[in-house]
Amino acid sequence: MDKKSNVLNVICFIFGIVFFVIGVLNVFLVDLVPGVLYIILSLIYFPHTDTIFKRKFNFSISYKSKIILGIVILWGTLAVGDLAEMFGL
């Protein structure tokens, strides 16, 4: 792997951890359905599940798309989500 790929993997891994934590917080503090959706969404950001998708379905989401999708979802979660209202953000 080259250096650029390692940096992109780290960024995607961070997005995966953030969405997983948001999902767990939603499960316990808000509601089950959005929490499970965030946890499932976090799986596309981890490098190991990306290789599984490539192997099983011959399909992969580009790093740029993952990062843009992550920023949009994170912005939506912190702007209008129920979890943001609980913490006064």
The pLDDT confidence band at residue 20, using thresholds 50, 70 and 90, is very high
Instruction: Report the pLDDT averaged over residues 29-51.
Output: 86
Assess contact for 35 and 27: CB atoms under 8 A.
yes
49-60 confidence digits (pLDDT tens)? 888 888 888 888
| Cα 34 from Cα 50, distance rounded (Å) | 22
| Number of domains comprising the chain | 1
Residue 24 is predicted with a pLDDT of 92
Mean pLDDT of the chain: 82
73 pLDDT exceeds 70? yes
The pLDDT confidence band at residue 82, using thresholds 50, 70 and 90, is low
| Cα 44 from Cα 25, distance rounded (Å) | 19
Domain around 8: 3-87
User: CB pairs under 8 A, 24+ apart, for 35-42?
Assistant: 38/77, 41/73, 42/15, 42/16, 42/17, 42/18
Helix (H) or strand (E) holding 72: helix 63-80
pLDDT higher for 78 or 21?
21
